[in-house]
A and B are shown apart, each in its own frame.
Chain A
Amino acid sequence: MANVLAVLEQRGGALKSVSHEALTAARSIADGLGGEAHALVVGPAGTSGGGLGEYGADKVYLATDDALKLYQGDQYAQLAADRVNGGDYEAVILPATALGKDLGPRLAAKLGCPLVADAISVAYEGGIVVSRPVYAGKAIYTLKITAAPSVICIRPSAVTPAPATRDGTVEEIAASSQAGKAKPATTVEVKQPERAAVDVAEASVVVSGGRGLKEAENFKLIEELAEAMGAAVGASRAVVDAGWRPHAEQVGQTGKTVSPNLYFAIGISGAIQHLAGIRTAKVIVAINRDRDAPIFKVADYGIVGDLFEVTPKLTEEVKKMLEG
């Protein structure tokens, strides 16, 4: 009987929602295997591992140490590898966030096992079968994992967290496993932007603007709509390269891949590299004055028109709707 380990992600001691997604995926594989779903939570003193039974954890391993408040890749990898080696695991599941994309491959290298990066589905069919996009989402692999353990990073929003009732017994484990490396790298600080914003890669609604906005200043139209909707602001590469917006907001092949419920592309033409980042969005809305813009070929709903007229009207109506 083999188990599945979900490596969860916290920020400032609080678990992020992608953690529940990873745990839900672990639970479903564990059910297929007839094994248990375990969670590993690493964080500063005071981080809680409680309540995870509600997402399917049979057991929660909690490693707390203030030295692990920030993500320390070299240490986290050793800690996770020690946990995997200390149990009977068929698979390890992580969210494919900035943390998971760094930690997942490190862990696979330490364990000498296969890695599935950025999976969009995971299922147990007499073996673990995953799908993952390649070539910027232009093609999708269906893969069968033929070795155990394996490490699987699962894209945010690919799994819907499902309630479950398990014990979720918390066991504290030592956080101070040897760093593994003679001289580990150390994260010394996390610089936060002045205004804490929702990140495009994790938001359920994203409002993106492109060159059609004409100048940096006009992005306030995008910001106002985003604020009205509780959405994250995204941008095309054209406007990031022009210095109007930070790279962190870029959506697409050389930016972020997003999978929100709702994506607005405003004044964005829909270049193939931009589309690469939004293929897994559930609903795409385009606002563009050019009826032939490629974005309309993938958009679920479109408005042909001048964004300088349409966007403020949309913001106003959204406010009314959400208030009313």
Chain B
Amino acid sequence: MKIAVCIKRVPDSEARIKIGSDGKEIDGSGVKFVLNPYDEYAVEEALKLKGAAGAGEVVAVSLGTDAAQETIRTALAMGADRGILLKADNAGVDPLPAARVLAAELGEGGYDLILLGKLAIDDYSQAVGTMVAELLNLPCVSAITHLDITDGKGKAEREIEGGVEVVEFELPAVLTAEKGLNEPRYPALRGIMLAKKKPLEVKDVTLDPGGLEVLKLALPAERKAGRIVGEGPEAVPALLDALRNEAKVL
């Protein structure tokens, strides 16, 4: 089974976000970058599927700057076979140009399955996976928490409000991974050593500008710390009084 996994380099979830001097981008200095957590689920699933099939290849594809090579090495250390960096300076805020560049690369690869994360924790779009599927005209299930593949046919589950959808599809297909799909492995030392020697191809790409103009990027209005209405169960009436008469939410 030949599987592609799209992975993105993103600021760590603990990172403090500072706004750059132009007021339109973050200031990435001093920020620790990691493999997008949802993409870890996608990589893990690809490795499991290849393992179960007994043969195949897992290719990690990332669109980004040269720094994303480090992210690709992380996926290679987890066990992916080779990497492709689609090198571009800036991805912009509209997800479609990125999806187009990824789809152009993935469409050429003859993959049985294309896996992505549900969401990138930087742009929070939750869009690139389903867009890639439409651009390639492939069946798609997004945000899956469970997957079975047998004889070229797949069955996946995705959580919706108040239930779980069960979706059937045929390969080739595009799937995006939600938390709960699996427990991603940590790269072992041996994996990290091996990863250094695995092939990583770099291709220059150009993104179209997209249709969104950034007017500004700002920190959200800080929530003002409220007040402690009291201690212990005796404080309950004061709390309810505040909710009803002050905040007017009861």
Pairing of A with B: yes
Binding site for B on A (CB under 8 A): 70-71, 73-74, 77, 97-99, 101-102, 104-106, 108-110, 112-118, 129, 132-147, 150, 180-193, 196-199, 201-202, 205, 247-248, 250, 253-255, 261-262, 272-273, 279, 282-285, 291, 296-306, 309-310, 312-314, 317-318, 321
- B189 contacts partner chain A, Cβ-Cβ < 8 Å: no
B76 to chain A: closest CB distance in Å? 24
For residues 196 through 250 of chain B, which have their beta carbon under 8 Å from a beta carbon of chain A? 210-220, 223, 225-233, 235-237, 239-240, 242-244, 247, 249-250
B14 to chain A: closest CB distance in Å? 6
Can you add 4 more A-B contacts, CB < 8 Å, to A180-B137, A318-B240? A136-B121, A141-B217, A191-B165, A302-B227
Do residues B122 and A191 form an inter-chain contact, with CB atoms below 8 A? Answer: no
Tally inter-chain residue pairs, CB-CB below 8 A: 280
Cβ 8 A contact of B13, one of A180, A193, A248, A272:
A272
Residues of B within 8 A of A113 (CB): 96, 211
A280 to B43, CA, bound (A): 32
For residues 58 through 117 of chain B, which have their beta carbon under 8 Å from a beta carbon of chain A? 93-96, 99
- B55 contacts partner chain A, Cβ-Cβ < 8 Å: no
Cβ 8 A contact of A197, one of B14, B125, B162, B230:
B162
A120 to chain B: closest CB distance in Å? 10
Q: Which residue of A lies closest to B164 (CB)?
A: A191
A113 to B127, CA, bound (A): 13
The 6 closest A-B pairs by CB, nearest first: A147-B211, A114-B211, A105-B127, A300-B226, A109-B134, A185-B169
Do residues A134 and B96 form an inter-chain contact, with CB atoms below 8 A? Answer: no
Do residues A139 and B220 form an inter-chain contact, with CB atoms below 8 A? Answer: yes
Residues of B within 8 A of A133 (CB): 124, 220
What would be 27 A-B contacts, judged by CB atoms less than 8 Å apart?
A74-B140, A97-B160, A98-B161, A105-B134, A109-B99, A115-B125, A116-B212, A136-B121, A139-B218, A139-B220, A142-B215, A185-B140, A185-B169, A185-B173, A187-B167, A188-B166, A191-B157, A191-B166, A247-B180, A282-B247, A285-B243, A291-B228, A298-B223, A301-B226, A301-B239, A303-B229, A304-B231
Do residues B145 and A247 form an inter-chain contact, with CB atoms below 8 A? Answer: yes
Do residues B239 and A303 form an inter-chain contact, with CB atoms below 8 A? Answer: yes
Do residues A317 and B236 form an inter-chain contact, with CB atoms below 8 A? Answer: yes
Known: A279-B223, A285-B239, A300-B247. A139 touches B19 (CB 8 A): yes
Do residues A185 and B233 form an inter-chain contact, with CB atoms below 8 A? Answer: no
Map CB proximity to A onto B162-196 as digits: 1 under 8 Å, 0 otherwise.
11111111100100001110000000000000000
Residues of A within 8 A of B211 (CB): 113-114, 145-147, 150
Residues of B within 8 A of A142 (CB): 214-218
Residues of B within 8 A of A132 (CB): 124
Cβ 8 A contact of A253, one of B13, B226, B247:
B13
A230 to B235, CA, bound (A): 22
Do residues A199 and B213 form an inter-chain contact, with CB atoms below 8 A? Answer: no
A303 to B233, CA, bound (A): 8
A296 to B231, CA, bound (A): 13
Do residues B138 and A109 form an inter-chain contact, with CB atoms below 8 A? Answer: no
Residues of B within 8 A of A193 (CB): 162-163
A94 to B99, CA, bound (A): 20
Known: A74-B139, A139-B17. A146 touches B232 (CB 8 A): no
Q: Which residue of B lies closest to A138 (CB)?
A: B17
Q: Which residue of A lies closest to B244 (CB)?
A: A321
Residues of A within 8 A of B166 (CB): 187-191
Do residues A272 and B236 form an inter-chain contact, with CB atoms below 8 A? Answer: no
Residues of B within 8 A of A137 (CB): 220
Residues of B within 8 A of A306 (CB): 232
A186 to B141, CA, bound (A): 9
Do residues A272 and B14 form an inter-chain contact, with CB atoms below 8 A? Answer: yes
Do residues A273 and B13 form an inter-chain contact, with CB atoms below 8 A? Answer: yes
Do residues B127 and A114 form an inter-chain contact, with CB atoms below 8 A? Answer: no
Residues of B within 8 A of A180 (CB): 137
- B158 contacts partner chain A, Cβ-Cβ < 8 Å: yes
A321 to B242, CA, bound (A): 13
Do residues B123 and A134 form an inter-chain contact, with CB atoms below 8 A? Answer: yes
A96 to chain B: closest CB distance in Å? 9
For residues 121 through 136 of chain B, which have their beta carbon under 8 Å from a beta carbon of chain A? 121-135
Residues of A within 8 A of B121 (CB): 135-136, 253
Known: A73-B130, A116-B212, A197-B162. A304 touches B218 (CB 8 A): no
A112 to chain B: closest CB distance in Å? 7
Known: A118-B124, A135-B11, A321-B250. A141 touches B226 (CB 8 A): no
Cβ 8 A contact of A186, one of B134, B168, B227:
B168
Residues of B within 8 A of A114 (CB): 94, 96, 210-212
